[in-house]
Amino acid sequence: MRTLFAAIIGIMTMVAAPLSSAVAAEAAGSVYIVAYCEAAAPDVAKVAGELRQQALASRQQPGNIGFTVLQEIGRPSRFAVFEGWRDAAALEAQRTSPGNAAFRDKLNPLLVGPLEIREHHGFSLATPHAKSSAEAVYVVTHVDVFPAGKDQAAALVTALAEANRKLPGNLMFDVLQVEGHPNHFTLVQAWRDRKAFDDSLMAASTRDFRQKITPLEGALYDERLYAAL
């Protein structure tokens, strides 16, 4: 499965174009998890280590299509975890595995609060187009609009993804939709470096999106920058 998860963990060979019919068909039944956690200040390194180990173990599980861990730039105690699974059955098998239970038992005492988990399906995905590097910046944006604006928001996030995949320095731009909440979207981007991301903020496509999405928002626009562990 060549989606954002494969891209982040190093397969980064994407083309800035819509999914091929084969990849789209594969993505249709796939399940994506975006999870967030915050380590207690003395335990940041321990949490990073536990997350790395969980990523290595999970990538070996049947049905896994990617698992990656990001650490927030400027707030190193905060992490974002991405998982991709072939289908709901593969995800459930992982959730109920002894290894996952052991991981949670080790992780939970090191956190300020519980692991926050959101289940998604693919909404606008593209196949991998450029290699990552140590300077790459990953951007996770949560877009939450009032229910009445969900269709307009869907069109806006799709147009933004399609346009920004073509900008200089873009490595990936995928859109996920939260299961059970069609008015909630998670945008996952990767840029060659911080300058490429900063330049994208002033692109006509981004500025047009921000102008049009703001009146629809049900919560503040939440955008965070990360580095891959």
Tell me the C-alpha distance between 11 and 183, whole Å: 30
Per-residue pLDDT tens for 111-152? 999 999 999 999 999 976 666 788 999 999 999 999 999 999
User: Backbone phi, then psi, for 104, in 5-degree steps?
Assistant: -65, -40
Secondary structure class of 27 (helix, strand, coil): helix
Query: In angstroms, rounded to a whole number, what is the distance separating the alpha carbons of residues 147 and 149?
Result: 5
Closest CA to 169 of 11, 1, 16: 16
pLDDT, residue 127, reads 73
Q: Tens digit of pLDDT for each residue in 28-47?
A: 689 999 999 999 999 999 99
Q: What is the DSSP letter of 10?
A: I
Q: How many domains does the chain have?
A: 1
- The number of residues in the chain equals 229
Measured distance CA(192)–CA(135) in Å, rounded: 7
Domain of residue 108, residue span: 4-228
Q: What is the CATH number of the domain that holds 47?
A: 3.30.70.100
Supply the pTM of this predicted model: 0.87
Q: What is the pLDDT along the chain (229 residues), one digit of tens a residue?
A: 334 454 444 433 332 233 333 344 446 689 999 999 999 999 999 999 999 999 999 999 999 999 989 999 999 999 999 999 999 999 999 999 999 999 999 999 999 999 999 999 999 999 766 667 889 999 999 999 999 999 999 999 999 999 999 999 999 999 999 999 999 999 999 999 999 999 999 999 999 999 999 999 999 999 999 999 9
Specify the pLDDT at position 128: 61
Instruction: Tell me which residue has tokens 């580095």.
Output: 227
Helix (H, G, I), strand (E, B) or coil at 216: helix
